[in-house]
Structure formats: C-alpha cells, structure tokens
Amino acid sequence: MPRQTRQRAAIQRALITADRPLTIDEILASTRKIVPTIGIATAYRNIRRLVDEGWLTAVDIPGGPARYEITGKDHHHHFVCLVCDRVFEVPSCPSDLEKMSPAGFSLDHHEVVLYGKCADCR
C-alpha cells in the first residue's frame, strides 16, 4: 500500500502555496527548502503519480517545459512573465470565442496565454 513520505508532502505543499503552475525545477527548488536531499527522480515520480491520481493537472505553455497546477480550479487562463518566466493565473476569459471558429468547425475548448511583465518585474 502507498506510504506517506516527507518528499511527497513537501511537493504537495509547494504546489498548494504557490497558487500558480510550477515547473519541475520550481517544484524542486521549493521542495528543497524543506527536504534538501530530494532528488529529481523523486520529483518526477511523485508528479506523475499525482497527475495519474487526478490531484495535479499538466499545463502546457508554448516554448517552455511542462508545468503543473492543482486540479479542480475554476476556468482560467495564464500569464507568462517574459522577464522571470513565471506563469500566473488569470481568472477571466474572453467573451466572444465562439464566434472565432471558422464556419463548419466545432469548438471544444480553448487556451489563452498572455505574455508581458509581471508586477514584480516592471
């Protein structure tokens, strides 16, 4: 049966407190403040498991490595800071997306990614 480990607890804590999608490297950096010896394989293993269990959702931002956020958040989009590369959540959503689909196409879902500078980097 599964066991509770300090490493997995630290990974989950990192993702809960960040409140934004984190890369593997960000997860590792954050987690090492609590468990300094954690290896990269353990990060990948736990993330994969948390995704399989449905606790995490992968976020694909073009031009960067995979990021992960906690499953079940309200519909939202993402803002990429071009300076610090951090990705933030954006709670709103464009209102007129349905009209954008070409005639004869059926729209399933959509992604909006904003690029710019975050408040810290301006």
The site for a second copy (CB under 8 A) is made up of 60-63, 77, 79, 81-82, 88, 90, 92-97, 99-119, 122
Query: Nearer Cβ to DNA, position 53 or 111?
Result: 53
What is the number of alpha carbons within 13 Å of residue 71 lying toward its C-beta? 10
Contact 110, 97 (CB under 8 A): yes
- Residue 30 to residues 48, 59, 76, Cα–Cα distance (Å): 18, 19, 24
Binding residue for DNA (CB under 7 A) from 16, 17, 33, 37? 37
Stretch near DNA under the rule CB under 7 A, chosen from 44-52, 73-81, 89-97, 113-121: 44-52
Structure tokens at 69: 């956020």
Report the interface residues with DNA, using CB under 7 A.
1-8, 24, 35, 37-42, 44-46, 48, 65-66
